[in-house]
Structure 1
């Protein structure tokens, strides 16, 4: 059976790939098998992967909001827009969890001109600059022009010393992060130019989705018990992660939610963070 991907490409239906994605939700083996059977009974030739995702999401949500939320991570990253400001904060938190010192939204003077830098990292006296390329659509990829442009900015900045975490520090390397994917040409150019890339599924064993699985840092936008407006209100309050919400539940009162809804939201958040 053939299915249609977000990109429009037609590919064979891969039940093992679907099974692996369902396993990421934390659902039991029995629930996953039930989900796979129901989906197989409903799919048809030419169905879109988006439709399959919606079928799986609905089945998981019926079983437990937490399963659906964990299955919803890629879409949740897109909700950190529309301009990517909160995506930058989220990426900063991911790296902080790995032991990096981080700063966001800096204006740094290069040799020729000044540059706005999304994130800087420091670990063991090495410093990286991070540029985030946020896309509101899953179909959009970052092409080769992105690393070519950012390489020129990095080259302008690395020749100067900056006041970052201490005085007179030098930027040693560059990372480009996107919530979607890079084209093959972008990957080839970046590798040739010694620029690090991070996307939803690249590098293969250290991608954004790998980092989320390893750290358990789920964005609050994955919560199914919150409306988009409520998520935006919480993001403005600087609550980026689901675990932030658990530790700052009073913020839910601040945005005017009822006791009953708060209880359900915190239950889902705890399920996601595997606290219950």
Structure 2
């Protein structure tokens, strides 16, 4: 059976890949295989991969909302748009969990022109700039023009003294982060020029999806028990992650949930974080 991907490309349906993606969300192999068996009658030649995802997502949701939330992580990160402002703050949180000191939305004066930086990070006396490239559509990849442009900004800033962390810092490294994927040429250029690249699946085994799961820093936008409007209320209050939500009781007060809904949201949050109820 053929499947139409987000990009429009037609490929063979890969059952093992679907099972693996459900298992990575927390479901056991047997459950994943049963879900596949249940949705197979609804599959057809040329079905969009997006529809297969929705079918699997709904089945996972009936078994465990936390499984469904992990399965929907990529869409949850995409919901941090459309402008990408929340995505930049989310990436800042990721670096903080890895021991960095961070600051967002910084204006710096380079050798030739001024620049607005998404994130500045510091660790062990080394300062780096982090540029975030947010895409609101899954089929869009970050091509080679972006790292080439970011490198030119880095070159204009690396000799400039900055004082956002201490009075005698210089930017010595540059990161380019995207919520989607890089083209092969973008990766090749990044590796050759010394840029640090981070995308949904790159570096292999240590991409954005891997770091999120390792540090359990799930965005609130992947929760299945909250409405879009409720998530927006939290984002406006700077509550970006499930960890922030579950550890800030005032956040729940702002949502004005019924006791039964509150328990459901808290249960999903705790299951995502693997903590005791």
TM-score for both structures, normalised by structure 1 = 0.96
Aligned residue number for residue 96 of structure 2: 96
User: Displacement, 1:29?
Assistant: 3.1
User: Displacement, 1:136?
Assistant: 0.9
Q: Deviations over 1:233-271 (max 9, x none)?
A: 101111111011111133122133222221111111111
Superposition map of 1:113-192 within 5 A: 113-192=113-192
Aligned residue number for residue 44 of structure 1: 44
CA–CA separation in structure 2 for the residues paired with 1:226 and 1:48: 26
CA–CA separation in structure 1 for the residues paired with 2:275 and 2:107: 40
Aligned to 2:232, the other structure's residue is in SS state helix
CA–CA separation in structure 2 for the residues paired with 1:168 and 1:112: 20
Superposition map of 1:215-230 within 5 A: 215-230=215-230
User: Displacement, 1:30?
Assistant: 3.0
Between 1:254-263 and 1:140-149, the stretch displaced more is: 254-263
Aligned to 1:171, the other structure's residue is in SS state strand
Aligned to 2:218, the other structure's residue is in SS state coil
Runs of 4+ aligned residues of structure 1 deviating over 6 Å after TM superposition are none
Give ranges in structure 2 of 5+ residues lacking alignment. none
Question: What is the aligned-residue RMSD (CA, Å)?
Answer: 1.2
Q: Is the 8 A contact 2:19 2:29 kept in 1?
A: no
CA–CA separation in structure 2 for the residues paired with 1:77 and 1:147: 21
Aligned residue number for residue 207 of structure 1: 207
Aligned residue number for residue 61 of structure 1: 61
CA–CA separation in structure 2 for the residues paired with 1:256 and 1:213: 29
Q: Deviations over 1:111-161 (max 9, x none)?
A: 111111111111222211000011111111111111111111110100111
Aligned residues: 276
CA–CA separation in structure 2 for the residues paired with 1:18 and 1:244: 31
Q: Deviations over 1:23-72 (max 9, x none)?
A: 12112333222112223333222111101100100000111211111111
TM-score for both structures, normalised by structure 2 = 0.96
Aligned to 2:162, the other structure's residue is in SS state coil
